């Protein structure tokens, strides 16, 4: 019979950058003792996001930062919402351009990630933050 489980975990970020959380999520899947099912992640913030990306070459993560810094520059004169800092509105936009929820099937007790896929929490603020991820697992 199909059952469900809900967990939360927190990540303390050291400011802007990609933090891998694949192991934390696999831990939730293992505790749920689900062989086949669906894992949904929801990040409860508006200035950080969840991203599935290459887990091999660290240059990929560096290039992500370079590209997004050019696409949505901190302190851009077009922004009106600046009271929370030069990086706040860009952080909201970077979040909108990526995602705050992910849904990943589970097979044989593990997330169906591809060989090169890792799950990352992408902190978009320049200062450290504590970010909470809600993990919902459904299956049997």
Minimum CB distance to a copy of itself, residue 70 (Å): 7
Minimum CB distance to a copy of itself, residue 31 (Å): 16
Query: Which C-beta is closer to a copy of itself: that of 46 or that of 128?
Result: 46
Query: Which C-beta is closer to a copy of itself: that of 101 or that of 127?
Result: 101
Taking a C-beta distance cutoff of 8 angstroms, is the pair 27, 104 a contact? no
Minimum CB distance to a copy of itself, residue 47 (Å): 8
Binding region for a copy of itself (CB under 8 A): 1-4, 6, 36-38, 40, 42-46, 51-54, 57, 59-60, 62-64, 66-67, 70-72, 78-81, 83, 89, 92-93, 95-105, 107, 112-117, 132, 134-136, 138-140
Q: What is the dihedral of CA 132, 118, 28, 102, to 10 degrees?
A: 60
Give the bridge partners for 100, in sequence order.
none
Element (H, E) at 53: strand 48-54
Element (H, E) at 59: helix 58-71
Cα-Cα-Cα-Cα dihedral sign, residues 126, 47, 112, 23: positive
């Amino acid at each position: 019979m199909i059952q469900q489980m809900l967990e939360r975990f927190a990540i303390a970020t050291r400011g802007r950058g990609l933090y891998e959380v694949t192991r934390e999520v696999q831990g939730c899947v293992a505790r749920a003792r689900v062989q086949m099912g669906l894992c949904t992640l929801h990040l409860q913030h508006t200035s950080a996001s969840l991203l599935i990306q290459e887990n091999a070459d660290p240059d990929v993560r560096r290039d992500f930062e370079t590209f997004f810094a050019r696409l949505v520059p901190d302190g851009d004169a077009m922004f009106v919402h600046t009271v929370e800092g030069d990086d706040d509105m860009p952080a909201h936009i970077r979040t909108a351009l990526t995602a705050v929820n992910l849904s990943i099937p589970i097979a044989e007790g593990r997330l169906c990630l591809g060989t090169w896929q890792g799950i990352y929490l992408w902190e978009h603020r320049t200062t450290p933050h504590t970010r909470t991820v809600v993990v919902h697992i459904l299956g049997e």
